[in-house]
Structure 1
Amino acid sequence: MDEPVTVGVDGSRSSMRALDWAADEAALHGRPLRIVHASVWERFEGATPADDLPEGRAEAAALEEIVTDAEARARRRRPELRVHAELLPGEPVDVLVHAGGDAFALVVGHRGRGALARHLSIGSVGPCVAERAWCPTVVVGDWAPGRPSGDREVVLGVGEGTDPGAAHVAFALHEAQARGCDLVAVHARSRQGTRHEPPGPGSSPTADALLSAAVPAGAALESGVVVHRQVVDGPAHHVLPQVARHAELLVLGVRHRHGTVHRELRPTHHAALRHSSCPVALVAVPWPPSRRPEAIDVE
């Protein structure tokens, strides 16, 4: 239970929403919270003695204020948490990927500000970090609602070829179990398909069979999670954000790009990040990690 929930902050409203979500997530799982602010300011590179200049001292104070304010906010929200906040040198994506090397999950906001705006945004940091991070990456949108008071659920996207016990399936079950809520496993099926058509020799399994295989009854029973399996007609990049519009979390798997340790984000991932009204978790295989990325041989 030592792996922290790590969150990237830059002082923006978006990153504060991500911080709040990360604090709740850390408390939910009984894990520490690590707050990271990345800066490319040249004082870290040793290029100039910026601390000797008034503007350098002001910049240093502003950076420290972002970190201390974020730490104070997290402690106010979740007093029981173990919180560690730090200012790290480097490009934001590189810093966050490295910081996520030993994390339970890495949380980022929808968009950043200032020097981070080019990186900490829905169009860049979420996909870039998810492609490279070894832990699950959660992107919290500006529009993400608070935890609902009524029926709660975690939504899991299930595509063709999803194996039982796959990384994102295990993560989704774990998240639903921790929240005490239901898991909705969704497969988006082409309208040309026929739901109850039995598979013939060499054909693909039906959508119902695919869902049952991906989230078997035994796994649901073992976790104590009530699982609902839904087959919805339409393209996944339209279906999943709609189904998850009232969910606490949408979980999607991300596979390795062939021949590399990086993952490949598809249109469904990008659409979910851009349009989902709930936080989106992108989970790489395997989860939880057993070896660091540099030790992995990808076939």
Structure 2
Amino acid sequence: MDRPVTVGVDSSPSSMRALDWAADEAALHGRPLRIVHASVWERFEGATPAEDLPEGRTETAALQEIITNAESRARRRRPEVRVHAEVLPGEPIDVLVRAGEDSFALVVGHRRHNAPVRRLFIGSIGPGVAKRAWCPVVAVGDSAPTRPSADRQVILGVAEGTEASAAHVAFALQEAQARGCDLVAVHARSRQEARQPPPGPDSPAADALLRAALPNRAALENGVTVHRQVLVLQRCLP
């Protein structure tokens, strides 16, 4: 069975962008789409904080509305994609990590830090999911393209002191091949690190690191043009 593209949703705008991106990704690779909504209340047999719901409306109905709307949106956007949607009990990060165990990729929304509290659900769990997931994780932000585009590049980050995961390299190559675009393998160094060896793309150590991470043969087999780039950071992020 084809591993699906799995996307976590709530009712926020950021998760809807993630849903659209995931539907396009599933269509691009000819894979099914799995839509997941995690509910901590589901574990308590529908127990609901009544003040958060309109009078007469149950938690079950609210959950069903979220997942039904998401499924309908995905089907409208990509009618050719097989879609399965479900509500799963548990904490969001735990649920998505488990869902990613048999997924081609796991997609979540990414929102700005000043977003209203009620919209933090998907945006705030992305880092936690990325740290624990067994499959590639895609965080879809505000500037994500609405449709797959061939005029963009796929970026593969390569860290010093570690070997690039074969799964990450394979995923990056698949994405570049499917989109008909170039793959850029990037290694970032601080100014202090760049002093020894000399900074920039002419650094023998940095160049060797990138070549070891992405051998030419793997790229040629996928028909992908690969660029290797060393970036020297002016300052480190906090």
Deviates more, 1:17-26 or 1:180-189: 180-189
Q: Does structure 1 residue 80 correspond to structure 2 residue 80? A: yes
- 1:95 corresponding residue in structure 2: 95
Q: Paired residue for 2:228?
A: 229
**1:16-27 counterparts in 2 under 5 A?**
16-27=16-27
The normalised TM-score by structure 2 is 0.82
For 1:84 and 1:212, locate their aligned partners in 2 and report how far apart those are by CA, in whole Å. Answer: 40
AA aligned to 1:212 is R
Aligned-pair distance for 1:170? Answer: 1.9
Aligned length: 229
Corresponding residue number in structure 2 for 1:274: none
Point out where structure 2 has 5 or more consecutive residues left out of the alignment.
none
> Which moves more between the two structures, 4-13 or 152-161?
152-161
- Deviates further, 8-17 or 183-192: 183-192
1:37 corresponding residue in structure 2? 37
- Which amino acid in the other structure matches residue 40 of structure 1? V
Query: Structure 1 regions of 5+ residues with no counterpart?
Result: 200-204, 239-266, 268-299
Q: Deviations over 1:131-167 (max 9, x none)?
A: 2221111111123233475622101112224536633
User: In structure 1, what is the Cα distance between the partners aligned to 2:185 and 2:119?
Assistant: 34
Q: Which amino acid aligns with 2:143?
A: W
Match for residue 131 of structure 2? 131
Q: Which residue matches 1:194?
A: 198
Q: 1:127 to 1:20 in 2, by over 3 A?
A: same
Task: Specify the SS of the correspondent of 1:176.
Answer: helix
Q: Closer, same or farther in 2 for the Cα pair 1:225/1:49, shift >3 Å?
A: closer
Residue 2 of structure 1: how far off its partner (Å): 1.5
Report which stretch shifted further, 151-160 or 108-117.
108-117
Instruction: Say whether the 8 Å CA contact 1:189–1:207 is kept in structure 2.
Output: no
Does the residue aligned with 1:120 lie in a helix, a strand or coil?
A: helix
In 1, Cα distance between equivalents of 2:228 and 2:122: 34
Letter in 2 for 1:194: P
Once the 2 structures are TM-superposed, how far is the Cα of residue 57 of structure 1 from its aligned partner? 4.0
Deviation at 1:67, TM superposition (A): 0.8
Identify if the C-alpha distance between structure 1 residues 8 and 56 changes in structure 2 by more than 3 Å, giving closer, same or farther: farther
Alignment TM-score, normalising by the size of structure 1 = 0.67
1:42-191 matches, cutoff 5 A: 44-46=43-45, 55=55, 57-111=57-111, 117=119, 119-121=121-123, 124-147=124-147, 151-163=151-163, 166-191=166-191
Whether the aligned pair in 1 keeps the contact of 2:48 and 2:58 (CA below 8 Å) is no
Tell me the CA shift for residue 95 of structure 1: 1.4
Deviation at 1:20, TM superposition (A): 0.4
Kindly indicate whether the alpha-carbon contact (under 8 Å) linking 2:26 and 2:32 is maintained by their aligned counterparts in 1: yes
Q: Which residue of 1 aligns with 2:210?
A: 211
Output the CA distance in 1 between the equivalents of 2:188 and 2:100: 31
How high is the sequence identity, in percent, across the aligned residues? 69
Shift of 1:111: 4.2
- Asked if the contact 2:200–2:232 (Cα under 8 Å) also holds between the matched residues in 1, the reply is no
The Cα of 1:88 is off from its aligned counterpart by 1.7
The answer as to whether partners of 1:188 and 1:236 remain within 8 angstroms in 2 is no
Q: How far is the alpha carbon of 1:38 from its aligned partner?
A: 1.3
| Counterpart-to-counterpart distance in 2, 1:152 and 1:60 | 42
Q: Work out whether residues 5 and 104 of structure 1, in 8 Å CA contact, stay in contact via their aligned partners in 2.
A: yes
CA distance in 2, matches of 1:145, 1:3: 24
Distance 1:148 1:63, change over 3 A: closer
RMSD: 3.2
Are 2:177 and 2:222, in contact at CA under 8 Å, matched by a contact in 1? Answer: yes
Instruction: Report SS of the residue matched to 1:80.
Output: coil
